[in-house]
Amino acid sequence: MQRAVKINEKTLPTQTDAVLKNDALSKSQKMKDLFDLGYETKAVAEMLNVRYNFAYNVISNYVNMNKLEVVAQEKSGKKDQIIELHKAGKSNKEISIELSTNYNYVFNVLKTYKASLPTTVIDLSKTNITAEVHAEDPAQDEKKEELVLDLTNVEIKNTDPDTSKEA
């Protein structure tokens, strides 16, 4: 949690020292004053050598009672980094090396991610896909077109009753 205020970088160290050295202020008041200077809750807790949850509770009550505007910072976790690297075309092994994480963790994160994506069902009984390759005729090589299907997250169902029976 961080206060949405403009910080004057030149006077900040002076103001911070004044708050920290003022023995007339309670710890709670020092927390509020440091928060007003623009420090995050974690930094306030570290400066005053108190637990994070104590600083958080004081600052949270201060924000709620005074209806102050705060800025919530969104941090990307390792899972988000794994997904971004996967989208960039990196392999599971490359991702695990780059992020210094276990290969199985990368695998499971991507498995969960892929399962959460919507799937497309293609009914093969109504779809006719043909491909011709004319490797022996050099004149046809110039006209050859490549068909690329991305079958990621595509569920293929065979609804033809004759071919679904096992022999």
Structure-block tokens of residue 51 = 């637990």
Is residue 52 a contact partner of residue 45, using CB atoms and an 8 Å limit?
yes
Tell me how crowded residue 133 is: count the other CB atoms within 10 A of its CB: 8
Q: Which position has the token pair 């090589």?
A: 141
Q: What are phi and psi of 121, to 5 degrees?
A: -100, 130
Contacts of 39 (CB under 8 A, 6+ apart): 2, 16, 47
Distance, in Å, from the CA atom of 34 to the CA atom of 78, rounded to the nearest integer, reads 30
Element (H, E) at 154: strand 154-157
8 A C-beta contact, residue 2 and residue 11: no
Mention every residue, 6+ apart, whose C-beta is less than 8 A from residue 73: 2, 40
**pLDDT score, position 167:** 44
Residue 94 has a pLDDT of 94
CA distance 5 to 11: 14
With a cut of 70, list the residues of the chain below it in pLDDT: 1-11, 72-75, 121-167
> Which of 149, 157, 91 lies closest to 123, judged by CA?
157
